[in-house]
Amino acid sequence: MTLWVITAMIVAMPRWDPRAKDRLRDAALELYLEHGYDNVTVAQITERAGLTRRTFSRYFTDKRDVLFAGSEQLPAALADAVLQADDGLSPFGALLTALVDIGGLLAGRVPHAAQRRAVIKASPELQERERTKFAAVTDALAGALRQRGAAESGAKLLAHVGVAIFQTAFERWTDQPQHADFAACVRETTTELAFSLGAVDLPAFSGRVRS
């Protein structure tokens, strides 16, 4: 096949544009930020992207899915990473390793994390969806930590704290102009938290404690 024929085929098949998904996502994020998520329709998204409803349906089930597509894989991916972390690590060490591994992958795949965050922050419905997502992540992480020997209630606590570290590190990563190093954000966040916890004199913190 000559180059000309291949070029003609590509031009004739715009619906297989490999960037269609990105164009739809870009258009959706722009519109959500301009008009508010509740006020945007799929028709407006496809119009701005210059694509059809049929193309939209190939990549997303609905306008909410534009913001959450793929996130259903996050719980299992994180749990697997916890289970596969080095045997010598403590449960919390395995958790941090998993956050860095999966977060690093995710960070590379979310080109518009800051806009996405702004859209979600403005919508109670989306906030609820985001909480549901992280609740599933927390449950999966707690299950994996139990398999690594953490106690029932301690596993849930560590999973909650891991998710808090992950969310904070991810926000800090998206706020950086250079998006340098997700692992460094996780380390910085964890160090800060360990310092806060370590600075409290626990046996003495009983000034106003009722017992």
What does the binding site for a second copy look like in residue numbers (CB under 8 A)?
85-86, 89-93, 96-97, 100-101, 104-105, 127-128, 131-132, 135, 153-154, 156-158, 160-161, 163-165, 167-168, 171-172, 175, 181-184, 187, 189-194, 196-200, 202-203, 205-211
When the beta carbons of 48 and 160 are compared against a second copy, the nearer one is 160
- Indicate the residue among 34 and 72 with the shorter CB distance to a second copy: 72
Least CB distance to a second copy at residue 53 (A): 31
Provide, rounded to whole angstroms, the least separation between the CB of residue 54 and a second copy: 33
Helix axis angle, 20-35 relative to 42-49, nearest 10°?
Answer: 120
Tell me the Cα Rg of the chain: 22
What does each C-alpha distance from 150 to 45, 93, 201 come to in angstroms?
A: 46, 12, 25
CA distances in angstroms from 32 to 53, 56, 59, 113, 173, listed in the order given: 18, 16, 18, 14, 22
CB of 68 to a second copy, least distance (A): 16
What's the closest the beta carbon of residue 142 comes to a second copy, in angstroms? 11
Rounded to whole angstroms, how far apart are CA atoms 14 and 107?
A: 29
CB of 18 or CB of 207, closer to a second copy: 207
Residue 24 one-letter amino acid:
L
Shortest Cβ 97–a second copy spacing (Å): 6
Nearer to a second copy, 69 or 89 (CB): 89
| Distance, CA of 57 to CA of 16 (rounded, Å) | 13
